[in-house]
């Protein structure tokens, strides 16, 4: 069993310090209220907000693992023995002008396990960040976790790759915008069901310069059923206790997607459109 918490919050442009303080406060409050929490998930770009310019992101981007937010969050992860995933703007350690839209994974020992770099940047993101090219699996005491960011969820291949790598839980850190609530609801449920995996998805609320966000953060079971959701456009937290063994149970009963796969017939999937 794993106890997860999913944070729905409103980061603000140009307010890195306040955004970080809000993240730290959420961690403290969750752990005081629910000290048995194993994993806390925050939205995409939680430290910076979304609609920054290339110059603005250059000012606040952080290099793993030396970034200010990383040190502060890692200290709380160690203090409270909790794993945390949150979105941030990452600076490449070697090519310092290169940025990524990334999600950091810090474990319950306060160790930065690594980052996931968004493989499918969306629209104006391409003006400031470079696409990632890998799907890292993060090993925890409760199982293997795969992380994706926002528009990645629209590509079934991402979640399927994680499933084939043996993850026990899918995590989505997102800024899914208005007015695409129905798309968001459908895709998150589908990715869980497609792969018979629990899915935890943290979305933001509020407005930046031209865009707005609706929230609808959710925790979904391996059959695509919503366990908990925060459908209102408000800040808050949802929690759930997940039995990750349901994946193995379901896959050997009716939902034999992986047993019945025919990868020898799937060559068209990797052809350019």
Give catalytic status of residue 150 as yes or no. Answer: yes
**Measured distance CA(53)–CA(265) in Å, rounded:** 44
Whole-angstrom CA distances from 39 to 35, 98, 114, 174, 252 are 11, 30, 15, 16, 27
Residue of 185, 21, 68 lying closest to 60 (CA atoms): 68
To 10 degrees, what angle do helices 68-80 and 16-33 make? Answer: 10
Give catalytic status of residue 44 as yes or no. Answer: yes
What is the DSSP pairing of strand 205-207 with strand 226-230?
unpaired
Coil, strand or helix at 161: helix
**Measured distance CA(205)–CA(187) in Å, rounded:** 19
Residue of 170, 172, 151 lying closest to 160 (CA atoms): 170
Catalytic residue among 6, 22, 118, 129: 118
What strands lie across the sheet with 198-202, from one edge to the other?
A: 137-139, 144-149, 169-173, 198-202, 217-220, 226-230
Catalytic residue among 44, 62, 90, 125: 44
Beta-bridge partner residues of 169: 145, 198
Catalytic residue among 6, 77, 129, 150: 150
Largest distance between two CA atoms of the chain: 53
Structure tokens of 70? 């990383």
What is the DSSP pairing of strand 198-202 with strand 39-41?
unpaired
Coil, strand or helix at 118: coil
Active-site residue set:
44, 118, 150
């Amino acid at each position: 069993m794993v106890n997860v918490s999913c944070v729905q919050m409103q980061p603000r442009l140009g307010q890195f310090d306040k955004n970080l303080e809000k993240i730290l406060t959420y961690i403290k409050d969750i752990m005081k209220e629910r000290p048995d929490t194993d994993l806390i998930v925050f939205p995409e770009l939680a430290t910076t907000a979304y609609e920054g310019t290339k110059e603005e992101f250059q000012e606040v981007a952080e290099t793993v693992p030396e970034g200010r937010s990383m040190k502060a969050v890692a200290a709380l992860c160690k203090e409270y023995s909790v794993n945390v995933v949150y979105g941030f703007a990452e600076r490449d350690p070697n090519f310092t002008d290169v940025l990524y839209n990334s999600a950091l994974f810090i474990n319950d020992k306060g160790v930065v396990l690594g980052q996931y770099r968004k493989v499918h940047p969306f629209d104006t993101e391409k003006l400031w960040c470079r696409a990632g090219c890998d799907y890292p699996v993060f090993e925890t005491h409760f199982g293997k976790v795969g992380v994706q960011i926002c528009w990645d969820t629209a590509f079934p291949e991402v979640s399927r790759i994680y499933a084939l790598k043996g993850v026990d839980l899918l995590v989505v850190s997102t800024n899914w915008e208005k007015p695409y609530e129905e798309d968001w609801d459908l895709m998150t449920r589908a990715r869980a069901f497609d792969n018979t995996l629990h899915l935890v998805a943290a979305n933001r609320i509020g407005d930046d310069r031209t865009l707005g966000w609706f929230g609808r953060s959710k925790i979904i079971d391996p059959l695509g059923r919503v366990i908990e959701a925060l459908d209102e456009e408000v800040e808050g937290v949802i929690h759930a206790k997940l039995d990750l063994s349901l994946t193995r149970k379901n896959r050997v009963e009716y939902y034999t997607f992986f047993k019945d796969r025919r990868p020898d017939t799937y060559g068209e999937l990797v052809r350019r459109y």
